Structure 1
Amino acid sequence: MGNNALKTAAKGSVNTLNALRRRFAPRRVFLYAPDAGPDVADLEQRIRFYFGDDIRITHLKSPAPTWLLAHGPVLTFRPKDAPPVPLFQQALGVFDVNFRTNSIEAWNWFDAEVFLNGSPDPAVSRRNYDAWKRRVLAEGHRQATIFGTGPSLARAIERDWSQDIRLVCNTIVRDAELWHHIAPHAVVAGDGLYHYGPTEFARTFRADLLKRLRESPDTVFIYPDLFHSLVAREIQIEPERLIPIRRGTAHTVHATLKDDFALPALGNVLNQLLLPIACDLSKSVRLWGFDGRAPSDVLFWSNSNKHSYPELMHTLREHHPAFFDHFVPAHDPESYVRAVHGDVLEHCLSQAEQQGWHFEMLHKSWTPTLSRRLAPDVEPAQ
């Protein structure tokens, strides 16, 4: 039996054990945080946000092999110099949630939640997605336009988008006027920190998202299935309009939904959600609101202030310090942008273009990959 077969068999066994545990064991998490100090109270608040007020919290006093027999996820607050949690322990339910040292702790919380409660049924998601796709394609639009939240998004209200399939992302929901002008077929959001966390920034986003979805009964919300438990709890609309999709293993954007009905194993909302959905609906994809990172920008890149929450950014940085220290380091603040919008994005678009897709950037962009695909009447960024 090969390594992949062994991994698949092991994962199947763990899933079977987890299903039995969820059926018969009480809802409980275990917290091992001997070095957390005053952060313990904060950790308990976060636990209740991610798992619900009815969750039982058991504090562990020492690490021990009995972790592996625990009837629930083990959350650890590992010291900065501690080695990463071994993969076999992660598979068996041990998750590092030290927000001061672990840059991906926001996602680990959701991995732990899925370990406890399970994932949504992919067959239901596929059925709802296919029904929505048929409705969209029946409108007869020949091209899809995807919208980012860069400063140029504010100018989208000057154009008529009614002849396009329209896909928007995350904090555009703040602006009701532009939302209804675009009248999106779908909205997406994929960041465990900005969109699904307990901060005031993320909570405000979800409240605005719910308002816009209730105002637009034909719009669906598409997102990674990792976040489904929180979405189902907070976004109270018709369940068929909530479409969680699992993350697959592909590193392409043009065929993952058709072939495997999975999101690609790529970072950033553009690569992971907007492009795969747009490519599944049309071979002609246009982009608006992807200004890229200008030389004067701070953090990742600038957003349109009218379509984000700049006054609440501090809540993200205070709640998830390790994330920003890692992904926007002071010595190389452009590292993340290069990683997701550099060679990876270029490779994905080139692969799709070889298979007949066409991409067109509708205004100037500081992202070289997109600037190489400017519409003929657009001047490049200087």
Structure 2
Amino acid sequence: MMLIVRRISYFAYIVLRRIARWKYRESNVKRSRLLVWPPASNLEELNDIVDWIAWYIPAQSGLSVTLVGTPALAAERGYSMPAEVTFLTRIADESFETVLIHKHTVRCSLEALERFNAKLECIDKRFFTYHESVAFQRIYALHDTVSLSDTRKKLEEVSRKNYEFLYSRYKGCQRAFVLGTGPSIQQIFHIDVSQDDLVIACNSLVKNQKVFSYARPAVLTFADPVFHFGRSAYAQQFREHLASLSSDTNVFFIVPPEHGLLLALHYPSLISRLIVLPVSPEFNLPTPENRKVQVADNIMTLYMLPVASAMAQEVYVIGADGRAQADNYFWKHDQDSQYGNLMKTAVDAHPSFFRDRDYKAYFKHHCDTMEALISQGERRGVRYYSVSSSTIPALRQRAWERHGPREQLANGA
């Protein structure tokens, strides 16, 4: 019942957001400031808002944000604010371009719409599904500062060069290995991986130094707004491993454009290793001339399989174990390739992402997408094999033991 109520509230907000954008365009008044609304009511709330801004709207973005609260609240925090934040006890000038709703109710959105005649964007972490965790993408799209524009241009140039290099290095290779984070990833140690093979790893596999040392991936790809680009200790630990990996290897990082922009703002040293691939509604195997991929909800179908299929004749999937009927989460992970002790920090930072998730429906959609993508690749002459057992039908039907080529994969280890 509560999920239905939240859905209704979400759709009401979407309608109000569209009205707000229409009213703002009709006003013909150009502004550039952002306001967080309603005013913070206690220190915990204020700290949470400031933490959100510090990660998603850093000073490097060229954006500035106004917060409202009492003098006592500012004093309780010690008057410490990030450079991009202006703290006011009252609003004298109401000319804001976008109002960021941090505590959503339909009434609050209506009040903001009537009072400020500005665009609306909800950043309430308890709002609905993953809306809060991707709000920064819409904010960046609405506020294209000089800093954001320059960083985008640099990212595009670097991405084009990096993907051209990767494509020229591996196009036409015999084998690509796609490495997931399931328990069966340990089977990689029984496979002879050569320097001519394209190896693509994903997500928290960056934590598993043994796998990286053995398989030597050319690509690490990740795109989750909570686990990789969120503001929890989980995501922070992931990014620290990412920065460490970048300094030790020549691996490329494939990410979505807006996520790449956020990463570049905080970690400029990573820019030289980034490849941003935009999404499209249409199926496409990315080439240097057209780097788009079809939109998908999972990293395997978003980037891993499309990139592997664009370059290799045979694609071997390892560590995509799928989901058991009794699982109450997405699926099980390899313990050495997951930050299990930090999972609670991700839940606390983005509660609605987990609260409103239907894991069974997500898995079914993932299975359908996997079958459609692999079928498209097969029509283009690519062959697919699942080296490890999987509950994903598309992979189970293409088990290497049943359909694999005569060449031996095992190295006898």
1:80-113 deviations in whole A, cap 9, x for unaligned?
567999xxxxxx8532111112212101123323
Match for residue 164 of structure 2 among 114, 125, 130: 130
Structure 1 residue 309 corresponds to structure 2 residue 315 = no
Structure 1 residue 107 corresponds to structure 2 residue 107 = no
Residue type of the alignment partner of 1:95:
E
TM (norm. structure 1) is 0.79
Match for residue 358 of structure 1 among 379, 383, 387: 383
Residue type of the alignment partner of 1:56:
S
| Shift >4 Å, 4+ stretches | 34-38, 80-85, 256-259
Residue of structure 1 equivalent to 2:233: 200
State the shift of 1:143 in Å: 1.7
Of 102-111 and 299-308, the range deviating more from structure 2: 102-111
State the shift of 1:35 in Å: 8.7
2-structure distance, mates of 1:109, 1:319: 15
Helix, strand or coil at the partner of 1:334: helix
What percent of counterpart residues are identical?
Answer: 24
Match for residue 287 of structure 1 among 317, 328, 345: 317
Residue of structure 2 equivalent to 1:334: 360
2-structure distance, mates of 1:82, 1:365: 47
Pairs within 5 Å for 1:1-382: 28-33=33-38, 39-52=45-58, 56-59=64-67, 70-71=96-97, 73-77=98-102, 79=104, 94-104=120-130, 105-116=132-143, 117=145, 118=148, 120-121=152-153, 122-137=156-171, 141-162=173-194, 163-216=196-249, 218-237=250-269, 239-250=271-282, 252=283, 254-257=284-287, 260-328=290-358, 333-339=359-365, 341-377=366-402
1:242-267 deviations in whole A, cap 9, x for unaligned?
112222232x2x52546632232211
- Structure 1 runs not aligned, ≥5 long: 1-9, 86-91
State the shift of 1:74 in Å: 2.8
State the shift of 1:115 in Å: 3.4
Going from structure 1 to structure 2, the CA distance change for 1:300 and 1:242 (only over 3 Å counts) comes to: same
2-structure distance, mates of 1:335, 1:257: 32
Residue of structure 1 equivalent to 2:113: none
2-structure distance, mates of 1:219, 1:307: 18
Q: 1:149 touches 1:289 (CA, 8 Å); kept in 2? A: yes
Q: 2:218 touches 2:251 (CA, 8 Å); kept in 1? A: yes
Helix, strand or coil at the partner of 1:75: strand
Q: 1:362 touches 1:378 (CA, 8 Å); kept in 2? A: no
1-structure distance, mates of 2:390, 2:217: 23
How many residue pairs match? The answer is 343
- Structure 2 runs not aligned, ≥5 long: 1-20, 70-92, 111-117, 405-413
1-structure distance, mates of 2:286, 2:39: 43
1:256-294 deviations in whole A, cap 9, x for unaligned?
546632232211101111112111212421111100012
Q: 2:281 touches 2:295 (CA, 8 Å); kept in 1? A: yes
Helix, strand or coil at the partner of 1:284: strand
1-structure distance, mates of 2:373, 2:367: 10
TM (norm. structure 2) is 0.73
2-structure distance, mates of 1:226, 1:235: 14
